[in-house]
A and B are shown apart, each in its own frame.
Chain A
């Protein structure tokens, strides 16, 4: 049973607009959350992370928001660029040493 769920398999957004990717989790013991980005024919690369003591973490155009009570996190990309077209995986773990549990991924397509 998947503990990390990305219910939108795909997202299409216009260049310059905001991309919002959503992720839900079922295990209340998760404390750390990460986003990875994957281009075709390449392995995933780390993008941004957040711990449960925070509700927001920002890195340039990327911001992750965490709502612990709702067991929900989201990744905002502002503004979206064509190079952001990729598959984005949400991942969570119970502590800083725990095994990562990944979601199924969301394919983002940024159109000109």
Chain B
């Protein structure tokens, strides 16, 4: 089974802090994604990557950056955390071929609270 592991289940950070959310997958998937889940808004794509050192903006990239130095690891970075970034963050991976042909495998999420 594909395993997508997010390093923290819960995080509490202060406004202005730099925050790193880590995600590791063990199935050699080329594609990796970061989503945030908010009530009433569903899942929204922040950034994704189709290969090492490659990144593409999703629908809501403002305030975030990403890093993919190794195939199995995809990091989400909040350069200066703000309260409106309080959310559930979900990492996902998939094989090449698009989400229809290769469904996303999600991690269990990181609940980030920015105070």
- Residues on B with C-beta less than 8 A from A95 are 98
Residue pair B103, A43 in contact (C-beta under 8 Å) = no
CB neighbours (8 Å) of A102 from chain B are 35, 42-44
Q: With the chains together, A106 CA to B40 CA distance in Å?
A: 10
Please name all residues of chain B whose beta carbon is closer than 8 Å to the beta carbon of A105 when the two chains form the complex. 42
Contact A34 B106 (CB under 8 A): no
- In the complex, the chain A residue whose C-beta lies closest to that of B45 is A99
Give the chain A neighbours of B43 by CB distance below 8 A. 44, 89, 91, 100, 102
User: Could you tell me the dominant secondary structure of chain B's interface residues?
Assistant: mixed
Asked whether A45 lies within 8 Å of B106 as measured between CB atoms, the reply is: yes
Whole-angstrom CA separation of A49 from B107 in the bound complex = 20
User: Inside 8 A of A45's CB, which chain B residues have their CB?
Assistant: 105-106
Q: How far is the CA of A24 from the CA of B96 in the complex (A)?
A: 28
Q: Is the interface of A mostly helix, strand, loop or mixed?
A: loop
Within 8 A of A (CB), among B53-98: 58-59, 90, 92, 97-98
B113 part of interface (Cβ distance < 8 Å): no
B112: Cβ under 8 A from any A Cβ: no
Name the one of A34, A44, A46 contacting B90, with C-beta atoms under 8 angstroms.
Answer: A44
Contact check, B108 vs A103: say whether CB atoms are below 8 A apart. Answer: no
* Minimal Cβ-Cβ distance residue in A for B48: A99
Q: How many residues of B contact A (CB 8 A)?
A: 26
CB distance from B40 to the nearest CB of A (A): 5
Name the interface size band of chain A: 20 to 34
C-beta contact mask, A49-91 vs B, less than 8 Å → 1, else 0? 1010000000000000000000000000000000000000101
Tell me if A93 is interfacial: C-beta within 8 Å of chain B.
yes
Give Cα A41 to B45, complex, Å: 20
A36 to B99, CA, bound (A): 12
Proximity bits, B27-59, A CB within 8 Å = 1, else 0: 000000001000111111100100000000011
Task: Let me know if A43 and B42 touch, CB within 8 A.
Answer: no
A41 proximity list for chain B (CB < 8 A): 108-109
Chain A interface residues toward B at CB < 8 A: 2, 4, 6, 9, 32, 34, 36, 41-46, 49, 51, 89, 91, 93, 95-105
